[in-house]
Amino acid sequence: MIRCLGAAIWIGGCGGRAGVRAVALGMLAAALGSGCGGKTTAGAPLPVAAPEVLVATAMSKSLPEWVEAVGSLLPQEEVTVAPEVGGTVAEVGVDFGDRVERGTVLLRLDDRELKLRAEAARAALAQADAVLAQVRAAHQRALALRAQRLLAEEGFDAAVRELRVAEANREAAAKQLAIAEKHAADAVLRSPVAGYVAARLVSAGQYLPPYTPAVRLVVVDPLRVRFELPERFAGRIRAGQRLEVEVAGLSEKGLAGEVTRIGAALDPSTRSLPVEGELRNPEGKLRPGHFARVRLDLGMRLSVVVPRAALDTFAGVDRVYVVHPGGRLEMRPVVPASDLGEELAIAEGLRGGEIVAVSRLEELADGMVVQPVRDRGP
């Protein structure tokens, strides 16, 4: 009979082999005693083995670096066209959404009165030309008489004054004709740009005073894309850098463009830098006002790369477990930079050469001791 009562062992029988058995059974009882209550005979707790955790080395690699932002598409130009003369709208040649080229007729005003004014100005100019011809002939005669000493200086001076007045009248009549002809031409309103009609603001039969907005146009090729970047990138942005733009709901992916303008100062409320780029839009499929996902190429940069399995996210915080000598864990917040498929580039929080855990992350905690096992891959 063997009973677990402290360290006491009772064995039936004695002598010879029984004594050997007694010793053997005593050793067995001592071993079994450790399982009765989970303590050794000395009362000390058994050591708990540290869990095995797969680990990998954070590698330093030269990678193309991209920064992502959300921006808005803006027209290259936005023009509100208005006639310089007043009149009744006789015809509207375009409507909302129409594509227009430079010089396309947008609307026509009733120009009958303007043409009559131009004809009157033309007749006034012809009359001024006739008067000027007569005065010039008189001036030539005065010159000849003066040379023969047959005309007094007062008479010659009068002839000169008449010539100057006639020349001035002729010049004024010519300018009045130019203005009248311009007003007649302004009765036809043409597009100053190639783009699209964003709004038609008038209708046929409506009286339009001078400089009243009539049509609003937008230029969409190229388009501008405006976005903001965190201040840590401010020193790395330059004109001409490549960017890619994606717009939700459209089939195009990664439309190529480049940085064209960089803000002169950070936004004091967000500590971010405004940046503008341009992208071609020859078919006009993209529209101003779209939200856009922008990826900006910052060039090659030495980055820290870890397996994707090393990243743990809790309460919105990205973190890794760094394994120090002796197996002690340090929970380290990090900032992921880019997704490389099976690997992740880390922008902040980790150095190349450090060892990170890549398994059982949900069981780990800061300060915990583990047995690191090198991940040999599949």
pLDDT, tens digit, for every residue of 278-302?
999 888 888 898 899 998 888 788 8
pLDDT of residue 17: 35
- Per-residue H/E/C for the chain: CCCCECCECCCCCCCCHHHHHHHHHHHHHHHHHCCCCCECCCCCECCCCCCEEEEEECEEEEEEEEEEEEEEEECCEEEEECCCCCEEEEEECCCCCCEECCCCEEEEECCHHHHHHHHHHHHHHHHHHHHHHHHHHHHHHHHHHHHCCCCCHHHHHHHHHHHHHHHHHHHHHHHHHHHHHHHHHHCEEECCCCEEEEEECCCCCCEECCCCCCEEEEECCCEEEEEEEEHHHHHHCCCCCEEEEECCCCCCCCEEEEEEEECCCCECCCCEEEEEEEECCCCCCCCCCCEEEEEEEEEEEEEEEEEHHHCEEECCEEEEEEECCCCEEEEEECEEEEECCCEEEEEECCCCCCEEECCCHHHCCCCCECEEEECCCC
Can you tell me the distance from the alpha carbon of 331 to that of 87, in angstroms, rounded to the nearest whole number?
76
Q: Is the pLDDT of residue 197 over 90?
A: yes
| Portion of the chain with pLDDT greater than 90, in percent | 63
Contact 37, 334 (CB under 8 A): no
Please choose, from the candidates 336, 349, 348, the residue with its C-alpha nearest in 3D space to the C-alpha of residue 307: 336
pLDDT of residue 87: 95
| Structure token pair of residue 239 | 């004109």
Average pLDDT over residues 138-160: 90
Confidence of residue 33 (pLDDT cuts 50, 70, 90): very low
Note the pLDDT tens digit of each residue in 240-274: 999 988 888 775 566 889 999 999 999 999 899 99
Average pLDDT, the chain: 85
What's the maximum distance between 2 C-alpha atoms anywhere in the chain? 179
Contact 226, 74 (CB under 8 A): yes
Contact 241, 66 (CB under 8 A): no
Q: Is the pLDDT of residue 18 over 70?
A: no
pLDDT of residue 300: 81
pLDDT of residue 25: 34
Average pLDDT over residues 307-328: 94
pLDDT of residue 337: 81
Q: With both helix axes pointing from N to C terminus, report the angle between 153-186 and 112-147 in degrees, rounded to the nearest 10.
A: 160
pLDDT of residue 376: 61
Q: Is the pLDDT of residue 327 over 70?
A: yes
Q: Is the pLDDT of residue 70 over 80?
A: yes
Can you tell me the distance from the alpha carbon of 109 to that of 340, in angstroms, rounded to the nearest whole number?
62
Rounded to 5 degrees, what are φ and ψ at 222? -80, 165
* 167 Cβ neighbours under 8 A, 6+ residues apart: 132
Can you tell me the distance from the alpha carbon of 223 to that of 247, in angstroms, rounded to the nearest whole number?
13
Note the pLDDT tens digit of each residue in 206-244: 999 999 999 999 999 999 999 999 988 888 899 999 998
Q: Is the pLDDT of residue 10 over 80?
A: no
Can you tell me the distance from the alpha carbon of 288 to that of 230, in angstroms, rounded to the nearest whole number?
24
pLDDT of residue 282: 83
Can you tell me the distance from the alpha carbon of 306 to that of 320, in angstroms, rounded to the nearest whole number?
10
Contact 191, 102 (CB under 8 A): yes
